[in-house]
Chains A and B, each alone.
Chain A
Amino acid sequence: SSQVVWDTLGNRQFCSYKITTKTQNFCRNEYNLTGLCNRSSCPLANSQYATIREEKGRCYLYMKTIERAAFPRRLWERVLLNKNYEKALEEIDENLIYWPRFIRHKCKQRFTKITQYLIRIRKLTLKRQRKLVPLRRKIERREKRREEKALVAAQLDNAIEKELLERLKQDTYGDIYNFPIHAFDKALQQQDAESESESDAEKEEEDDEDMDKREFVEADDSDLSDFEDMDKLETSSEEEQEVEEEVEKKASRSKSKGKAPLKGPARRKRPYLEIEYEKETEAATKTKAA
């Protein structure tokens, strides 16, 4: 009747374990010895059949005989094989004595293959294993958007330029860059800081005390009159300066630095002024302070 089974399932009609490809037919049955769909390899079409299967690293020999064909539950007999390769082969021989050569041979082949891949698995688990971490789409999208927003907020070019200019101002580059205006600016800045601290001290006192002097200062805008005014102011309030100079110098120095950018128009005038009044640098600073 195995012939009947083969004639119907194997060759002609539908077998659910059969997979056909262009060149070959495969058998998906888990008890199949070779994996191909053949008359001699089909577990359904052979009443005397044997396979090797492994479970959790141990190999078993499965056997099917014609006597048990009527009892599906007891059909496949299972024998645990020895862990030792040679001894297991002997066991296979012992169990499959008097069985057809084809099945014996194929069983041993299959057993060899299985042991080889088990060895490889064990070797690989000892080496470092690549751990696959799944990406979560929602989180990836969220991170991407946040990164874009952060990029926009960062304004990288501006930040870098600002930092570089800061470093230039703080003289980390030394003498490499000689911008004449820049150097002159710095030298003048220092002088200004000294004289401005005095004039700022005056200004603060005046704001507190005398309205008249303040009006005096503010009313005159032209440079020439400032000349005279500054002279008068300096001489008159020298005594007050000396008392409060040290206290206020620090505060006004920082103030002078803060005020420096405000004096933009005056600064722009300065190169022009300097060319004309080069000898009178002190006079220039006095006019500037007003």
Chain B
Amino acid sequence: GRGGVVAEDGGSSGPARVLFPPTFSVSEIKNKQRRHFMFLRWKQQQRKEKLAAKKKRRKEREALGDKAPPKAIPKTIENQRVYDETTVDPNDEEVAFDEATDEFAPYFNRQTVPKILITTSDRPRGRTVRFCEQLSSVIPNSHVYYRRGLALKRIIPQCIARDFTDLIVINEDRKIPNGLVLSHLPDGPTAHFRMSSVRLRKEIKRKGKEPTEHVPEVILNNFTTRLGHSIGRMFASLFPHDPQFIGRQVATFHNQRDYIFFRFHRYIFKSEKKVGIQELGPRFTLKLRSLQKGTFDSKFGEYEWIHKRREMDTSRRKFHL
């Protein structure tokens, strides 16, 4: 029994008089039951000490009153993020120059109007089809075409001929969409994402009415590194440049720890300090898998960035977007 346990281990019968040899550790006990018991006791002790320390700290703080040092900032993953040397500085000239000359420059100079083609992989099932429809209602000037066994390499020149600026392919697996390929058409970069937690409009709680035809605003949050910057520009180029504020719709791409959350809301300003938002439209999460320089070409394309699991997933505090 328990008395036997303690007697064998330290020769005393209560926690107050426990004497262990200094090199003893709980994990050395071979018997699982006893080890478990000792571990629980050790844990309780730790908790008590922690509580006592907290109380003492609080008392000291109150005693000091105003002169107390400010509260320590809790560590979060965002705080502890490994500094990425490709972080974009807003005043960076090189980046600004790059942006003026890259593939999105004609869009940002208002020379081209975005026209999007949305398609799926072969034989899409109901959920994917509905998701495509909703996505096309969210992105203005977009068309959905079904692919009946057509090769992507052959439809790309056709798209370019018909003046499309972007191509979105939604990949399906087991009746749910799980991948997204976004390709900027006249020779632009191709980004391949893994898509997860797709919610259609009817699955969203407390949703509003259907999204109207007004051009929504775009919010891009947290795209800090150079790679994130180019992805952010890619998303921005999907939407026409002049949002119609009458529509009061906003599409958000929020990057957090390499996951890009897409939401579509309608907002209303209740006062100058309060705004209410109502979610309409589909929502999904994207995770970037690869970024390719030219248009979609899996064999001969030049990859700018691929997610390599073994190299890039080693640290919990390192993010690439």
What is A's interface to B at a CB cutoff of 8 Å? 127-128, 130, 139, 143-144, 146-147, 149-151, 153-154, 156-157, 159-161, 163-165, 167-168, 173-174, 176-177, 179, 181-182, 185
- Give the secondary structure class of B's interface: strand
Whether A165 touches B309, Cβ cut-off 8 Å, given contacts A147-B196, A156-B252, A156-B261, is no
* Chain B neighbourhood of A127, CB < 8 A: 151
- CB pair B269 A150 closer than 8 Å: no
Fill in one digit per residue for B60-93: 1 if any A CB lies within 8 Å of its CB, else 0: 0000000000000000111000000000000000
- CB pair B275 A151 closer than 8 Å: no
- CB pair B252 A160 closer than 8 Å: yes
How many Å from the CB of A183 to the closest CB on chain B?
Answer: 9
Additional A-B contacts beyond A153-B78, A164-B219, A177-B269 (4; CB < 8 A):
A150-B261, A153-B76, A160-B219, A160-B254
B115 on the A face (CB < 8 A): no
A147 to B151, CA, bound (A): 33
- CB pair B272 A185 closer than 8 Å: yes
Residue of B nearest to A146 (CB): B257
- CB pair B254 A179 closer than 8 Å: no
Q: Which of B250, B258, B261, B272 contacts A151 (CB 8 A)?
A: B261
Residue of B nearest to A169 (CB): B272
B146 on the A face (CB < 8 A): no
How many Å from the CB of B285 to the closest CB on chain A?
Answer: 6
* Chain A neighbourhood of B252, CB < 8 A: 156, 159-160, 163
- CB pair B256 A160 closer than 8 Å: no
Residue of A nearest to B78 (CB): A153
6 residue pairs A–B, Cβ–Cβ below 8 Å: A153-B257, A156-B252, A157-B277, A159-B252, A164-B219, A167-B217
| Contacting residues of chain B (263-306) with chain A, CB-CB under 8 angstroms | 263, 265, 267, 269, 271-273, 275, 277, 285, 287
B25 on the A face (CB < 8 A): no
- CB pair B77 A153 closer than 8 Å: yes
Residue of B nearest to A139 (CB): B309
* Chain B neighbourhood of A161, CB < 8 A: 267, 275, 277
How many Å from the CB of B263 to the closest CB on chain A?
Answer: 6
- CB pair B273 A163 closer than 8 Å: no
- CB pair B267 A173 closer than 8 Å: no
- CB pair B221 A163 closer than 8 Å: yes
- CB pair B272 A159 closer than 8 Å: no
Whether A163 touches B219, Cβ cut-off 8 Å, given contacts A157-B277, A179-B271, A182-B272, is yes
- CB pair A153 B256 closer than 8 Å: yes
B197 on the A face (CB < 8 A): yes
* Chain A neighbourhood of B152, CB < 8 A: 128
A181 to B246, CA, bound (A): 22
How many Å from the CB of B78 to the closest CB on chain A?
Answer: 7
Residue of B nearest to A161 (CB): B275
Q: Which 5 A-B pairs have the closest CB atoms?
A: A182-B272, A154-B256, A150-B257, A150-B256, A179-B272
* Chain A neighbourhood of B277, CB < 8 A: 157, 160-161, 164
Number of interchain pairs (Cβ within 8 Å): 83
* Chain B neighbourhood of A177, CB < 8 A: 269, 272
A185 to B219, CA, bound (A): 26
- CB pair B273 A165 closer than 8 Å: yes
* Chain B neighbourhood of A164, CB < 8 A: 219, 250, 267, 269, 275, 277
| Contacting residues of chain B (202-236) with chain A, CB-CB under 8 angstroms | 217, 219, 221
How many Å from the CB of B312 to the closest CB on chain A?
Answer: 13
Residue of B nearest to A131 (CB): B298
| Contacting residues of chain B (24-66) with chain A, CB-CB under 8 angstroms | none
A177 to B274, CA, bound (A): 13
Residue of A nearest to B197 (CB): A147
B259 on the A face (CB < 8 A): yes
- CB pair B259 A146 closer than 8 Å: yes
B245 on the A face (CB < 8 A): yes
A256 to B256, CA, bound (A): 33
- CB pair B256 A168 closer than 8 Å: no
* Chain B neighbourhood of A154, CB < 8 A: 254, 256, 261
Fill in one digit per residue for B175-199: 1 if any A CB lies within 8 Å of its CB, else 0: 0000000000000000000101100
* Chain B neighbourhood of A185, CB < 8 A: 272
A164 to B252, CA, bound (A): 11
* Chain A neighbourhood of B265, CB < 8 A: 160
How many Å from the CB of B264 to the closest CB on chain A?
Answer: 10
Q: Which of B77, B122, B254 contacts A156 (CB 8 A)?
A: B254
* Chain B neighbourhood of A174, CB < 8 A: 245
**Residue from A130, A143, A160, A167 whose CB has the most chain B CB atoms within 10 Å:** A160
Residue of B nearest to A186 (CB): B272
- CB pair B259 A150 closer than 8 Å: yes
* Chain B neighbourhood of A144, CB < 8 A: 196
- CB pair B275 A165 closer than 8 Å: yes
A130 to B194, CA, bound (A): 17
* Chain A neighbourhood of B245, CB < 8 A: 173-174, 176
Residue of A nearest to B270 (CB): A179
* Chain B neighbourhood of A182, CB < 8 A: 271-272
